[in-house]
Amino acid sequence: MTVATTKTHDALKLQKAKEEALIIYHELLKKSGIAITDEDRKTLFSVDLGGTHFPDEGLGSIDLLRTSRVRVSIILLLPGQTLPEHLHPSYEGEPGKEETVRVLYGKTMLYVEGKPSDNVILPKGKEQWYTAMHRNTLLPGDQYTVQPKIKHWFQAGPEGSVNMIFQNKVDETRNLFFDPDLKGCQVPSGLKFQSGAF
Ligand SMILES: [Fe+2]
């Protein structure tokens, strides 16, 4: 197989994985019981963050609200899926994004900096990019606020999870992922929202 053929093959494989994940994200959304319009549902998409490890690393996402000051979104995670470690920095007088996660369905393990927890499961081949090892286990109705400049990452339990995310609006392109393979969140062209990352 030539290099070009391999790249095409990898791209097709990724596309297929994202399409399969989308079906499960829709099922999870339904299980969460959240009231949502068909129009919002159509904006649900699979995010690979520009990396190569989807579905191990990635997420599903819907933006429910974006104004110049506030953002509310839903993040969906497949069983065991990980949204990789990152932080929301301050820049040009903006103190950075404060991000609150509230679980609607399933279980989300939110890792932050602090005393390392036992039995942390990291995505295979990506271990070196994870340093925040203090686990907060969130069940439906639980919520946790991540302050700006704190390294954090998310991982779903065995049933996957659906999470509502409340955050002040910032320039999402400033968000820092540590794995150089990751480019942040892509938003398909044609959507009403512009580029962003989590
Ligand atoms: Fe975040």
pLDDT in tens, 121-151: 999 999 999 999 999 999 999 999 999 999 9
Say if CB 196 and CB 184 are below 8 A apart. Answer: yes
Q: Using the mean position of ligand 1's atoms as its centre, give its distance from the Cα of residue 119 in Å.
A: 22
pTM for the complete prediction? Answer: 0.89
Q: Using the mean position of ligand 1's atoms as its centre, give its distance from the Cα of residue 87 in Å.
A: 6
Say if CB 63 and CB 43 are below 8 A apart. Answer: yes
pLDDT digits 0-9 by tens, 61-70: 999 998 888 9
CATH H-level, domain 3-177: superfamily: Jelly Rolls (2.60.120.10)
Residue (of 24, 137, 152, 131) closest to 77 by Cα position: 24
Residue 101, phi then psi, degrees to nearest 5: -105, 125
Q: Using the mean position of ligand 1's atoms as its centre, give its distance from the Cα of residue 52 in Å.
A: 20
Query: How sure is the predictor about 184, in pLDDT bands with cuts at 50, 70 and 90?
Result: low
Q: Using the mean position of ligand 1's atoms as its centre, give its distance from the Cα of residue 54 in Å.
A: 18
Q: Using the mean position of ligand 1's atoms as its centre, give its distance from the Cα of residue 8 in Å.
A: 31
> Please, which residues have CB less than 5 A from ligand 1, an ion?
99, 198
Cis status, amide bond into 140, omega within 30 of 0: no
Q: Using the mean position of ligand 1's atoms as its centre, give its distance from the Cα of residue 83 in Å.
A: 9
Q: Using the mean position of ligand 1's atoms as its centre, give its distance from the Cα of residue 135 in Å.
A: 15
- What is the sign of the dihedral through the CA atoms of 144, 149, 150 and 151? positive
Query: How sure is the predictor about 91, in pLDDT bands with cuts at 50, 70 and 90?
Result: confident
pLDDT digits 0-9 by tens, 33-60: 999 999 999 999 999 988 889 999 999 9
Q: Using the mean position of ligand 1's atoms as its centre, give its distance from the Cα of residue 103 in Å.
A: 15
Residue 197 above 50 pLDDT? no
Q: Using the mean position of ligand 1's atoms as its centre, give its distance from the Cα of residue 172 in Å.
A: 10
pLDDT digits 0-9 by tens, 149-162: 999 999 999 999 99
Q: Using the mean position of ligand 1's atoms as its centre, give its distance from the Cα of residue 155 in Å.
A: 12
Q: Using the mean position of ligand 1's atoms as its centre, give its distance from the Cα of residue 70 in Å.
A: 14
> Which region, left, alpha or beta, applies to residue 77 given φ > 0 means left and ψ of -120 to 50 means alpha?
beta
